[in-house]
Amino acid sequence: MQTTLAAAVSLTSTWFIRPGCESEALAALERLAAQVEAQEPDTLAYQIHTPFTADARLQAQPPTDPLTVLFIETYRDADAFLAHVDGPVFTGFVREHGALFVGGGGGQPFMLVSFLARRAGFVRGAPVPAMPAQDTAAGNRHPCGMFEIIAKQQGVLMDFYTKVFGWRYRRGTEGFAYARFDVPGGAALGGIGQADPSMPGYAPGRSFYLLVPDLRAALAAVEAAGGTCTMAPASADGYAFAMFADPEGNVVGLLESPAGQ
């Protein structure tokens, strides 16, 4: 069922990094966003911002504290927000990293929060990572347009992929569950390699890769939902990737988005 604008809850939350803790705090915030995306399907948007400094022509009025962090979040409904703020991802973040931010007492970061009801507008999809320049090839056609997982227990795997990736489904013929994706314009990637059963990820057969912002956070979500890591994060030819097995043993690849995309 499509979320109505009236039901969804948005908010802005402003935090302040302690001086000297910038790099550690920003790294922790990046991991937080990846974990929220992987584990909280009812968090519809979770964006973390710091002051824009890339172009001197744009000056904040009044001037912004350079240690400011602004969260812009949207939840399916009020229950989804409460599940986030009381859930293991956010409470664990505050417990482990709250000291990196100016405190508001009781070990909690000080924050300014405004709750909002969105009446119009949109959030564009995240861009597909660009392929390295040497790999681009005008004229390549027929990229992967669909993949299937044929389950022994359909409900078990549907629940697993919802927990890990937030997938939602629409039923088709004979109950086939379709997960549809909004994919903005960009390059798709495919390849043919030589099998080498002695190397993880090179067994004969077919593989598909799911795009994630953080490999380690995605693998943590996989293991928490009952899957197993079959190939630890690795890199080659400008790509970072890993592989996991779902609860039925289907092996799926993960491809990490380049930084900032």
Q: Boundaries of CATH 3.10.180.10 in the chain?
A: 150-179+205-261
Q: Boundaries of CATH 3.30.70.100 in the chain?
A: 9-116
- Structure confidence at residue 82 as a pLDDT band (50, 70, 90): very high
Half-sphere exposure of 79 (CA within 13 A, CB side): 3
Average pLDDT over residues 67-73: 95
The yes-or-no verdict on residue 1 having pLDDT over 60 is no
Question: 133 or 172, which is more confident?
Answer: 172
Q: Are 261 and 129 in contact (CB under 8 A)?
A: yes
Identify the weakest region by mean pLDDT among 25-29, 91-95, 163-167.
163-167
CA gap 239, 218 in Å, rounded: 16
The yes-or-no verdict on residue 132 having pLDDT over 80 is no
- Structure confidence at residue 247 as a pLDDT band (50, 70, 90): very high
Question: 213 or 174, which is more confident?
Answer: 213
Average pLDDT, whole number, for the chain?
Answer: 82
CATH of 9-116, one of 3.40.50.2300, 3.30.70.100, 1.20.140.10, 3.40.50.2000: 3.30.70.100
Start-end of H helices in 151-214: 154-165
Q: Are 167 and 161 in contact (CB under 8 A)?
A: yes
Let me know if 29 is exposed, middle or buried by CB neighbors in 10 A (0-12, 13-18, 19+).
buried
Preceding omega of 62 cis (within 30 degrees of 0)? yes
CA gap 213, 35 in Å, rounded: 9
The yes-or-no verdict on residue 49 having pLDDT over 70 is yes
The yes-or-no verdict on residue 83 having pLDDT over 90 is yes
| Level-2 CATH architecture, domain 150-179+205-261 | Roll (3.10)
Identify the weakest region by mean pLDDT among 19-28, 155-164, 203-212, 216-225.
203-212
Identify the weakest region by mean pLDDT among 20-29, 130-139, 200-209, 221-230.
130-139
Name the token pair of 116: 């909002």
Q: Is the pTM of this model over 0.75?
A: no
Identify the weakest region by mean pLDDT among 48-57, 179-188, 189-198.
179-188
pLDDT on residue 129? 45
